[in-house]
Amino acid sequence: MEVHQAQAFLAVAEELHFGRAAARLSMAQPPLSRLIKQLERSLGAELFDRSTRHVALTTAGRALIAPAQHLVEASEEASQTVRNTLTGETGRVRVGFAGASINRKVGELARQVRTARPGLMLELYSSQFSHIGLERVRDGSLDLVIGRWDFLPSEVDSAVIALEEVMVVLPATHRLASAARVDLAELGEEPWVTLPGGTGSALHNRLNSLSMAAGVVPRVVQVAPDSWTLVVLVGAGMGCALSLDSVRDNVSSDGVVFRSLASSERPLEVRMIWRRADDNPALHAVIGIAKAMFPDPREAAGDAASQA
């Protein structure tokens, strides 16, 4: 039994009148009668007792109602699933992010997606540092990554969702801990703790450019796997580090101080990136939600500057 046959059978079974059933199906009565006869021949049983004044279900007809309903419902569910997939109402989006510094934004995004698109599955993957996250977007193992990059290849598209201040992290007992601002040149002899770096990693590149401008070469003594560990190592007196105001605001910082740089530094851009050629409707639904939640802060800064 095909779906259109099941729909025709159910219409006649509910109306018990071929004329009314045909009108309900927006078709003429003779084609409907032929359709029911074809179904009866394929099943080898009469489904209706017919007379000029009366139409009634046979025993076989009554038995067919539930299977016919299941078939029509399954067809409608399949069609709705396809429509939802095409409009981004359902689907899967794999999102990578570095860690503690942007946990809050990822949490806000996940809650909003769940509210706006409850049928959409958001899979979250932490510890995706910039160079790792970029490669995973490029190879298709992640759909969307939130991080910081100075350079992005042409096949990757992006949107800025936040600006962050670059800061120096010092042990609370450090000689410069009470300074309002710290000149990197004053840290030329200090040991440094860094995060994993890589091509395009904005924070790693910023440490290199700041050190070069200050005429120092940072002596890296340890590479921390994440910002939380970096702060712990600094607090333990292992060295100083370059970090961000978002880390200061989101990571417990007992035993350390965050200080602004003496030089006027442009903020780091937090971006979400995705493959430019990715046409997954669910992905673009998430991108749209994220852009509405986190409008480009550079535009707000430009508006404020023009009004000043």
- Region 144-156 average pLDDT: 92
What is the pLDDT averaged over residues 33-61?
91
Residue 82, pLDDT score: 75
Alpha-helical runs (H) found in 58-102: 59-87
Same domain membership, residue 218 and residue 171:
yes
Share of the chain above pLDDT 70, in %: 94
Q: What is the pLDDT of residues 123-143, one digit of tens each?
A: 998 877 788 889 999 999 999
Does residue 151 have a pLDDT over 90? no
- pLDDT, mean over the chain: 89
Domain total of the chain:
3
The domain of 279 spans 91-162+269-307
Confidence band of 84 (pLDDT split at 50, 70, 90)? low
Tell me the pLDDT tens digit for each residue of 212-238.
999 999 999 999 988 889 999 999 999
Is pLDDT at 52 greater than 50 in this prediction? yes
Q: Calculate the alpha carbon distances from 140 to 95, 135, 156 in Å.
A: 11, 8, 11
**The two structure tokens encoding residue 153:** 């290849």
CA angle, 100 as apex, 290 and 275 as ends, to 5°?
40
Of 210, 208, 203, 245, give the one whose Cα is nearest residue 224: 203
Residue ranges with strand state E in the chain: 48-50, 55-57, 91-97, 120-125, 144-147, 156-164, 166-171, 181-182, 191-194, 219-223, 241-244, 256-261, 268-275
pTM of the model: 0.69
Q: Is there a single domain that holds both residue 135 and residue 277?
A: yes
Q: Are 95 and 106 in contact (CB under 8 A)?
A: yes
- Is the domain of 154 the same as that of 282? yes
In contact, 122 and 93? CB cutoff 8 Å: yes
Q: What are the structure tokens assigned to 14, written together?
A: 């509910």
Closest by Cα among 138, 132, 67, 61 to 97: 132
Q: Are residues 279 and 139 in the same domain?
A: yes
The pLDDT value recorded for residue 308 is 47
Q: What is the CATH number of the domain that holds 136?
A: 3.40.190.10
What value does the mean pLDDT take over residues 151-158? 94
Q: Residue 152 corresponds to which amino acid?
A: L
Rounded alpha-carbon distances, angstroms, from residue 122 to 139, 140, 200: 19, 16, 26
Helix (H, G, I), strand (E, B) or coil at 159: strand
Instruction: Please check whether residues 12 and 51 belong to one and the same domain.
Output: yes
Tell me what the mean pLDDT of segment 93-116 comes to: 87
Of the listed ranges 100-104, 121-125, 151-155, the one predicted with least confidence: 100-104
Tell which residue, 200, 204, 211, 230, has the closest CA to residue 101.
230
* Whether residue 203 sits in one domain with residue 184: yes
What is the pLDDT averaged over residues 67-73?
91
Give the pLDDT confidence score for residue 234 in this predicted structure: 96
pLDDT digits (tens, 9 = 90+) for 236-263: 999 999 999 989 988 888 899 999 999 8
- Predicted confidence at residue 300, as pLDDT, reads 66
pLDDT at residue 34 greater than cutoff 60: yes
* Domain identity same for 145 and 174: no
Q: Can you give the pLDDT at residue 305? A: 44
| Average confidence (pLDDT) over 151-179 | 94
What average pLDDT does this structure show over 9-24?
92
Same domain, 276 and 144: yes
C-alpha distances out from residue 272 to 137, 209, 261, 294, Å: 11, 24, 26, 11
